[in-house]
Structure 1
Amino acid sequence: MSTLTTEVEDFAAAMRSDAFRRDPYPVYARMRAECPVYRAPQGLWYVTRHADVEQALGDPRLSNDRERMTDALVARDGRMRDLSRLTARLGRVMSNTDPPDHARLRGLVNKAFTARRVEGLRERIQAVVDRLVDAAVAALEPGGPPTDLLTAVASPLPHTVVCELFGVPEPDRERVKEWFRGLGRIHEDIDRAERVVDAFEAYLLDLVERRRAAPGDDLISALVTAQARGDRLTDHELLSTCFMLITAGDETTTNLIGNGLLALLHHPDQLALLRAEPALIRAAVDETVRYDSPTQAILRVTAADVTLGGRTIPAGDLVHLLLASAGRDPEHHEHPDRFDLTRPAHRHLGFGHGPHFCLGAPLARLETELAIGTLVRRLPDLRPAVDPGRLDWRPNPLQRRLTALPVTCTSDDDTSDERK
């Protein structure tokens, strides 16, 4: 057996281990050093170095087309047929298309989801953050039991903001939250997920019709009226875009807030620096995306033979672009395993690159800045309640998310006034 084959088998096994789920970065470091572009025994390719990932993200031969991806997934594993059929119902949104369809869809959505619209949400997002942090502060009595900041702040914030953004009426929001949870378990129960999609689709279609009849100051109204050169989103494209913005914004932002809080809590020198210099909050968000990316990898399928890192990937193969590994590449980031808020602003790939750069990145940044900034200001005596090695992570190779982030506060009376 060749050394390369042994290494590949070792990596494939490592990525299925509990140790990898807790901390994937030592495995990524070995992959970058020993086999930066490699094919696992199951047939999947993995790309690990910053330069190769960046090249792949800008290469049109690395396709994100839903139909092409579905064909490749089903060819690899027939059990994916039902899941692919369900995800295909969500349609040809811009994140699941290639040029020229992608440019058309993104141009239309950009007219509705503008930087001005996102910035206009700042006060409303801050009000939501304040309500959530008020409840967390009330629960965090000095010397009392831990509070889970994922449940208290990181998870409900993006859900509430998305509902505000889409103009979902208050009485419907708990039902929408349950649909979010159902879509998050799409791999576990296809039949249940299909019922969730049915119900959610019917609800969104009704909301769209109401906005057509009486437009408001919300994103659905803006999507309904967006047009370019006489072109508009079809009903199917509109529903699919809503699905994409709702589900992607919820998951990614929750992960980003949780991972950022965890990194700060376990790097007290950087937490102290942020408290002393609150203007570093933007740097803290970018450093979190680089250091512990909420989106670990994105999947592409080759539309033609592609050479990356000296290896040729045949047409029709599935490729994982490891954004998280690229963020720790020492060829691009000095001292990559160090969490450092003063790091020079080197470009990271955590929000993607090229035509598919994350549309929701400004909103995710804003929510994370306000959530972490408020918690750091309001709770100067915050402490992790569990050693990082004992924290549990969800078993999702594409997303990195804690199951809980328990924290406590000290009983130092000198800090009590700052917590109000």
Structure 2
Amino acid sequence: MTATPSVAGPQELLLQLLDPANRAHPYPVYAQFRDRGPVLMPDANLMVFSRFRDCDEVLRHPSSSVDRFKSTAAQRMFADGMPTRPMGSQGFLFLDPPDHTRLRGLVSKAFVPKVVNELAPHITDLVGGLLDRIAERGRFDVVSDLAYPLPVAVICRLLGVPLADETEFGRASALLAQALDPFFAITGEPAAGMDERIAAGQWLRDYLHGLIAERRLKPGDDLMSRLIAVEESGDQLTEGEIVSTCNLLLIAGHETTVNLIANAILAMLRQPGQWGALGAESNRASAVVEETLRFDPPVQLVVRIAADDMTVGDTEVVKGDTMMLLLAGAQRDASEFDRPDVFDPDRETFRHLAFGKGPHYCLGAPLARLEAAIALSAVTARFPDARLDSEPVYKPNVTLRGLATLEVAL
């Protein structure tokens, strides 16, 4: 049953975003935010943006910081005795220049389109194997049988992480993904399960330190080995930075792509004509991917910190304030998109903020697009009569909102 939010105040709306009852249908909540325009909550030092132009401007603004520890709210928390870095060193996703520029530059060569496109035969083989196993059963769970195992196998190959260890690092990754949810920004309290997430983060760091020790003795043709070589050549890269970078890529490299593939399959199965159209014409895959990134993005919201006093549109933002950008809502802004609530891969142009903008534009965008396009074109062609066999079940995550299960009959 769809949870229909009533007209509510800003704090109520934010709490509705956290409410699992709205996970399957968050878009009516986003619409109420858009109708209000920018929302300031001064007691929380929080500004919420939900319109496309505002979110786009914040993402590009030179005073937008990704370091949450610079926020006024975080500084208050540290003053009350909370450890300043409970999860250890941060990956470059949460660093500002110049550290962000340096670390991103060391990793970026592994994700340029030319290198990524060379993975296409490997990805195609992986997808074929997964679909063969699905065909034997006559039904499948979109997440566990396709959307999850594919990107996990790809990122493990890139990083040099043994796929046999997936169960353990997958559990840690899922817990750490929940740490991206804006629970503290909304409620002023740490989210439940913080100790479990800290323990998961420590386990994953210890695991990666162990792999680094193995790679020092026996380097491979993988990104982790290349980062170790950079460190050992005397460049400005520490083992802690290698760990935090691999940690970030391991999580970001599969959690978001899982959601992208699963969301696209759900959207097409709700419009069977779209499923059949892609199955018959594989070159539609890129359009399906781009429209999914707009219509139901894998990353629903992001947070930025005002490093200085800022002006966004007509709104003044005070230095240290947290800016919450409701990207999924912004991408259904009727002032920017025709029929924004309709999934339509036949749009004339595609625009979205799903991969961010500016210096923090998603490094893995070419890889995510490639994996999704190959998987979606293959599954629609292989199983033309696929149909939904149950209601979708969602994970608890707010930021990386995605399906937990989606049963499909063939």
| TM-score range normalised by the length of the shorter chain | 0.7 to 0.9
For residue 99 of structure 1, what is the amino acid of its counterpart? Answer: P
Query: In structure 2, what is the Cα distance between the partners aligned to 1:170 and 1:20?
Result: 34
- Asked if structure 2 preserves the Cα contact closer than 8 Å seen for 1:179 and 1:200, the reply is yes
- Asked if structure 1 preserves the Cα contact closer than 8 Å seen for 2:38 and 2:50, the reply is yes
Further displaced range: 103-112 or 234-243: 103-112
1:166 is aligned to: 159
1:223 is aligned to: 227
Question: Following superposition of structure 1 onto structure 2, how do residues 56-95 of structure 1 map, counting pairs within 5 Å?
Answer: 56-69=58-71, 72-73=73-74, 75=76, 81=82, 85-87=85-87, 89=88, 91-95=89-93
For residue 28 of structure 1, what is the amino acid of its counterpart? Answer: Y
For residue 93 of structure 2, what is the amino acid of its counterpart? Answer: S
Query: In structure 2, what is the Cα distance between the partners aligned to 1:355 and 1:85?
Result: 24
- Equivalent pairs: percent with the same residue? 38
1:416 is aligned to: none
For residue 36 of structure 1, what is the amino acid of its counterpart? Answer: G
The offset of 1:25, in angstroms, is 1.5
- Asked if structure 2 preserves the Cα contact closer than 8 Å seen for 1:9 and 1:41, the reply is no
The offset of 1:310, in angstroms, is 1.9
- Asked if structure 2 preserves the Cα contact closer than 8 Å seen for 1:302 and 1:314, the reply is yes
Further displaced range: 234-243 or 39-48: 39-48
Query: In structure 2, what is the Cα distance between the partners aligned to 1:111 and 1:17?
Result: 40
Query: In structure 2, what is the Cα distance between the partners aligned to 1:181 and 1:61?
Result: 31
1:59-90 C-alpha deviation (Å, 9 max, x unpaired):
12221125315x634636999946x6323x0x
Select 1:139's aligned residue among 119, 137, 140: 137
1:238 is aligned to: 242
2:347 is aligned to: 343
Further displaced range: 337-346 or 352-361: 337-346
Aligned-residue RMSD, C-alpha: 2.7
| Structure 2 residue 401 is the aligned partner of structure 1 residue 400 | yes
The offset of 1:328, in angstroms, is 0.9
Further displaced range: 73-82 or 349-358: 73-82
Further displaced range: 308-317 or 366-375: 308-317
1:53 is aligned to: 55
2:384 is aligned to: 380
Question: Following superposition of structure 1 onto structure 2, how do residues 56-205 of structure 1 map, counting pairs within 5 Å?
Answer: 56-69=58-71, 72-73=73-74, 75=76, 81=82, 85-87=85-87, 89=88, 91-140=89-138, 147-184=140-177, 188-205=192-209
Select 1:330's aligned residue among 330, 334, 337: 334
Select 2:319's aligned residue among 298, 304, 315: 315
Tell me, what secondary structure is at the counterpart of 2:101?
Answer: helix
Tell me, what secondary structure is at the counterpart of 1:22?
Answer: coil
2:363 is aligned to: 359
| Structure 2 residue 258 is the aligned partner of structure 1 residue 254 | yes
- Asked if structure 1 preserves the Cα contact closer than 8 Å seen for 2:257 and 2:368, the reply is yes
- Asked if structure 2 preserves the Cα contact closer than 8 Å seen for 1:12 and 1:40, the reply is no
- Asked if structure 2 preserves the Cα contact closer than 8 Å seen for 1:158 and 1:367, the reply is yes
Query: In structure 2, what is the Cα distance between the partners aligned to 1:170 and 1:28?
Result: 38
Pairs aligned (count): 391
Query: In structure 2, what is the Cα distance between the partners aligned to 1:184 and 1:97?
Result: 17
- Asked if structure 2 preserves the Cα contact closer than 8 Å seen for 1:37 and 1:308, the reply is no
Query: In structure 2, what is the Cα distance between the partners aligned to 1:80 and 1:121?
Result: 47
Query: In structure 1, what is the Cα distance between the partners aligned to 2:222 and 2:66?
Result: 29
Tell me, what secondary structure is at the counterpart of 1:335?
Answer: coil
Tell me, what secondary structure is at the counterpart of 2:397?
Answer: coil
The offset of 1:157, in angstroms, is 1.6
User: Gaps spanning 5+ residues in structure 1: where?
Assistant: 141-145, 410-420
For residue 198 of structure 1, what is the amino acid of its counterpart? Answer: Q
1:349-373 C-alpha deviation (Å, 9 max, x unpaired):
1110110000111111111112211
Tell me, what secondary structure is at the counterpart of 2:324?
Answer: strand
Query: In structure 2, what is the Cα distance between the partners aligned to 1:72 and 1:117?
Result: 41
- Asked if structure 1 preserves the Cα contact closer than 8 Å seen for 2:291 and 2:350, the reply is no
Query: In structure 2, what is the Cα distance between the partners aligned to 1:78 and 1:151?
Result: 43
For residue 398 of structure 2, what is the amino acid of its counterpart? Answer: P
- Asked if structure 1 preserves the Cα contact closer than 8 Å seen for 2:299 and 2:399, the reply is yes
| Residues 42, 80 of structure 1: alpha-carbon distance in 2 compared, 3 angstrom cutoff | farther
Query: In structure 2, what is the Cα distance between the partners aligned to 1:241 and 1:31?
Result: 34
For residue 220 of structure 1, what is the amino acid of its counterpart? Answer: M
- Asked if structure 2 preserves the Cα contact closer than 8 Å seen for 1:384 and 1:406, the reply is yes
- Asked if structure 1 preserves the Cα contact closer than 8 Å seen for 2:279 and 2:382, the reply is no
| Structure 2 residue 19 is the aligned partner of structure 1 residue 26 | no
Tell me, what secondary structure is at the counterpart of 2:394?
Answer: coil
The offset of 1:254, in angstroms, is 0.8
| Residues 270, 41 of structure 1: alpha-carbon distance in 2 compared, 3 angstrom cutoff | farther
Further displaced range: 356-365 or 190-199: 190-199
The offset of 1:295, in angstroms, is 0.2
- Asked if structure 2 preserves the Cα contact closer than 8 Å seen for 1:384 and 1:407, the reply is yes
Further displaced range: 277-286 or 214-223: 214-223
The offset of 1:245, in angstroms, is 0.4
| Structure 2 residue 210 is the aligned partner of structure 1 residue 206 | yes
The offset of 1:155, in angstroms, is 1.5
The offset of 1:178, in angstroms, is 3.9
The offset of 1:385, in angstroms, is 1.1
TM-score between the two structures when normalised by the length of structure 2: 0.87
The offset of 1:197, in angstroms, is 2.9
Tell me, what secondary structure is at the counterpart of 1:264?
Answer: helix
1:141-197 C-alpha deviation (Å, 9 max, x unpaired):
xxxxx5321111111222222211122235434443343345346665333433333
Query: In structure 2, what is the Cα distance between the partners aligned to 1:190 and 1:7?
Result: 28
| Residues 270, 240 of structure 1: alpha-carbon distance in 2 compared, 3 angstrom cutoff | same
Tell me, what secondary structure is at the counterpart of 1:299?
Answer: strand
| Residues 113, 13 of structure 1: alpha-carbon distance in 2 compared, 3 angstrom cutoff | closer
For residue 269 of structure 1, what is the amino acid of its counterpart? Answer: G
